[in-house]
Amino acid sequence: MAGGLSTVSEGTPVPRRRAALAAVVLGVLAVHACVTQGVADRIGDLGADAAMPARMEVAYVRDMALSAPPPAAAPAAPPAAAPRPRVVPALRPARKASAPPPAASAPLPDPVVAAASAPEPVPEPASAPASAVERVAETVAAPASAASAPAGFEWPASTRMSYTLTGNYRGEVSGSAQVEWVRVGSRYQVHVDFIVGPSFAPLITQRSTSDGEVTAEGLAPRRYDQDIRFLGQSRPRQTIVFDAGNVVLANGDVRPTLPGLQDTASQFVQLTYVFSTRPESLRIGGSVDIPLALPKKVAVWTYDVVEEETLHTPFGPLTGIHLKPRSNDQKAGTLSVEMWMAPQLRYLPVRIRFEQDPQTYVDLLIAKRPEIAN
């Protein structure tokens, strides 16, 4: 129409059309803003969930005194004929045992990714009256209560153990490590810290933390976190959450819990509790079962008590009782951990060795007397 306003086909004037489009654009922007804010809030929530518990701090004021070891337990009777082994059943209900999943994360360059890659599940003799899981349940249900513990047993005061690290990874390596046990009331934390290489330019650093509660049956982990840096680059944190009846692994799998279930940091102090309350389990030729939650699986490991050794430390000789994981069903190249527990130092680990193969290992030896808090 000449001289009139131009219109769209429906007869809507252009200015009105532009106003309608502007309203639509503003509406879309508002929706996007709400969604973006929601995503940001969710990310914030996830970040809060992922944050590690605050590290409990204590003041270490004195060195732990050496104590006389308890009388040596009688050696275990030699086994009869070696029975044919069978593999411990998988922990998933109603599922057959399967080959264990590959070790978490990287192959090695993580020779010291602490116990995060423990030995493979332990085979059980076919003639054994109970499986490893059943043995653990019986042990925890038996005289493991505070009332039945040896008279005078008390958890150690907060303790820090320092180690000298030596080893081999494409050549000799050295460094330092600490295992720290902190207890405040009924809450505990166990920290395992590694530095491989010089402190000013480490090859590998790792911090593992177990956070949980002290109970009449020992330690009850609630959460495990592990942070690793390799050549200055951080790797994704691995977190395990222990819930009532279940454990959420670092890969997201949910598995049923086991009686006395530990993580790879808490096991060092839990073994101290086991040996303090049941020293007969340290007899040469005996063994101890420890259920462990790892980033990708839950299983029971058996440590054999293989021998008693004299360890030469900077503050004198110590008796170390050597615990070695069984390896009947262990695949070549799987990282294993061995421990030497010292009766003179409340059964704390005075030497720890992590080995992937004879050419790839780290060895920790106590560097000074343990430091304790009031």
Specify if 233 maps to a domain.
yes
Specify if 321 maps to a domain.
yes
Q: Give kind and range of the element (H or E) at residue 10.
A: none
Cα–Cα distance between 368 and 60 in angstroms, integer? 14
Specify if 25 maps to a domain.
no
Specify if 242 maps to a domain.
yes
Q: How many domains are contained in the chain?
A: 1
Give the CA distances from residue 358 to residues 142, 169, 170, in Å, rounded to whole numbers and listed in that order: 39, 10, 12
Cα–Cα distance between 327 and 352 in angstroms, integer? 17
Specify if 96 maps to a domain.
no
Specify if 9 maps to a domain.
no
Burial bucket for residue 31 (CB in 10 Å: 0-12, 13-18, 19+): exposed
Beta bridge partners of 177: 163, 194
Tell me the pLDDT of the chain (374 aa) as tens digits.
Answer: 444 434 334 455 555 655 555 554 444 444 444 433 443 333 333 343 557 789 998 999 999 999 876 554 444 444 444 444 443 444 444 444 444 444 333 333 444 443 334 444 444 444 444 555 555 545 444 444 433 344 456 888 999 999 999 999 888 999 999 999 999 999 999 999 999 988 888 888 999 999 999 998 899 999 999 999 988 888 899 999 998 899 999 999 999 999 999 999 999 999 999 998 888 888 999 999 999 998 888 989 899 999 999 999 999 999 999 999 986 545 555 678 999 999 999 999 999 999 888 888 999 999 999 999 98
Specify if 174 maps to a domain.
yes
Specify if 27 maps to a domain.
no
Which has the closest alpha carbon to 111: 198, 174, 199, 160?
174
**Residues spanned by the domain of 302:** 60-69+104-373
pTM equals 0.67
Cα–Cα distance between 190 and 208 in angstroms, integer? 8
